[in-house]
Structure 1
Amino acid sequence: MTTLSSHILDTTTGLPVEGITVQVFSFDNQRFDTQTNADGRCSDWVGELSAGTYQIRFHVGEYLIQTHGKAFYPHIDITFIVNDEKHLHVPLLISPFGFSSYRGS
């Protein structure tokens, strides 16, 4: 079984992003919701994930509009595969018109 964590960093300000709703969807109809904390992080909200394909959705639009006056993405979806890892970390780097993610540790 695999645990999951994430964090969001605004690359324009260089600061973590607090209060973003983050959802994880499994393809067998499970859904887990949380919000990022003051350090832009979220973890331990989904319990352990079994092997399979998942999607994580970051609801960033409102934050980007409030902080930067505009946003191209209302939300950002990242689909990933869980195999036999003990832990996965899916970070998100955002700006009003771009984003980046990678498999973290």
Structure 2
Amino acid sequence: MSTATTASVSTHILDTSIGRPAEGVAISLAARTGRGGEWVALGGSATDADGRCKDLPALPEGTTHVRLDFEVEEYFTGSIKTQKQAEAQQDAPRVRDSGAFFPEVAITFAVTPGEHYHVPLLLNPFGYSVYRGS
């Protein structure tokens, strides 16, 4: 939870190529204070069966910028594919045989103390988009 002096962050990933959550994707979180500040790695987690990452580390007081790093290469190459994903991909185009076009996705955004930031990643083998959710 955020307080008046800190912001909080959550995220989830939807694989739009199969219309399902992306499970097992490692996510790391870093923060800095001010534009010229040094990035401080805070830790990370991985997405659950719903594609959500519910246990990201808390942001330190004074955080002004946050970076989420999504390690998607193993997801797309099948190293962490679940049975549900394998079944869903049977009907999906066979575009993943060439590996991961984006092996990682890094999203950097500004935060304001006391606000919560939900930043979903909509992912497919050859593109992605993000937005500030609720």
Note whether the superposition's TM-score is higher than 0.5: yes
Question: For 1:12-57, what per-residue CA distance to the aligned partner results, in whole angstroms no more than 9, with x for missing partners?
Answer: 0000011100001113423221000110001232124543111100
Q: What is the CA–CA distance in structure 2 between the aligned matches of 1:100 and 1:49, rounded to whole Å?
A: 27
Gaps (5+ residues) in structure 1?
A: none
Equivalent pairs, count:
105
Identity across aligned pairs (percent)?
40
**Higher strand fraction: Structure 1 or Structure 2?**
1
Partner of 2:131: 102
Cα RMSD, aligned residues only = 1.6
Partner of 2:31: 26
Determine whether 1:11 maps to 2:22: no
Q: In structure 1, which of residues 51, 55, 58 is the aligned counterpart of residue 70 of structure 2?
A: 58
Please, which moves more after superposition, 54-63 or 66-75?
66-75
TM-score by length of 2: 0.71
Q: Structure 1: which 4+ aligned runs deviate by more than 6 Å?
A: none
TM-score by length of 1: 0.89
* Cα 1:103–1:85 shift into 2, 3 Å: farther
Task: Tell me which structure has the larger Cα radius of gyration.
Answer: 2
